[in-house]
């Protein structure tokens, strides 16, 4: 029993250790560069999803008003619920976007100014 426990413990530690990014000797800030790129991409993704869900919410509100106007109270109620759900989903994406943006900004702050890479557009 104890041998199995320690085997699992060592195997899980090895697995977790192998998943950690290792900075390259040529670029000691590679972990922060990759962290910035990854979290910025995730922040951009969540920002795009915010727009989609906000548009869905507005569309459902308009559909609810139209259904209410024609006297279809059940459809109006369904569209109102869908609008609230889309608004809540957009709010969740806003929170996640803000977290990823803060993490991307932190990674960027860990790279000294002389070690930041610039794009071709910035060099022109």
- Stretch 68-96: mean pLDDT, rounded? 96
Q: Which two tokens stand for residue 109?
A: 């702050």
The answer to the question of residue 25 being in a domain is no
User: Does the pLDDT of residue 2 top 90, yes or no?
Assistant: no
Residue 122 included in any domain = no
In this prediction, residue 39 has a pLDDT band, given cuts at 50, 70 and 90, of very high
Domain of 46, in residue numbers: 33-110
Q: How far apart are alpha carbons 88 and 85 in whole angstroms?
A: 5
pLDDT score for 22: 58
Residue 61, number of CB atoms within 10 A of its CB: 17
In the prediction, which pLDDT does 100 show? 95
Tokens of 33: 């560069």
Number of domains, the chain: 1
What pLDDT does residue 13 have? 64
Percent pLDDT > 90 in the chain is 58
pLDDT exceeds cutoff 70 at 50: yes
pLDDT greater at residue 60 or residue 3: 60
Instruction: Quickly tell me which residue has 């906000």 as its tokens.
Output: 54
Does 20 reside within a domain?
Answer: no
Q: Which residues of 12-21 are buried (b: 16+ CB within 10 A; e: fewer)?
A: eeeeeeeeee
């Amino acid at each position: 029993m104890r041998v199995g426990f320690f085997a699992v413990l060592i195997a899980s530690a090895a697995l977790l250790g192998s998943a950690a990014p290792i900075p390259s000797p040529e670029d000691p800030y590679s972990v922060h560069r990759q962290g910035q790129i990854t979290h910025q991409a995730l922040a951009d993704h969540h920002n795009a999803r915010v727009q989609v869900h906000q548009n869905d919410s507005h569309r459902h509100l308009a559909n609810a008003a139209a259904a209410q106007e024609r006297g279809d109270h059940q459809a109006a109620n369904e569209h109102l619920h869908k609008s609230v759900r889309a608004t809540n989903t957009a709010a969740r994406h806003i929170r996640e976007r803000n977290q990823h943006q803060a993490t991307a900004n932190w990674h960027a702050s860990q790279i000294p100014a002389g070690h930041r890479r610039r794009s071709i557009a910035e060099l022109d």
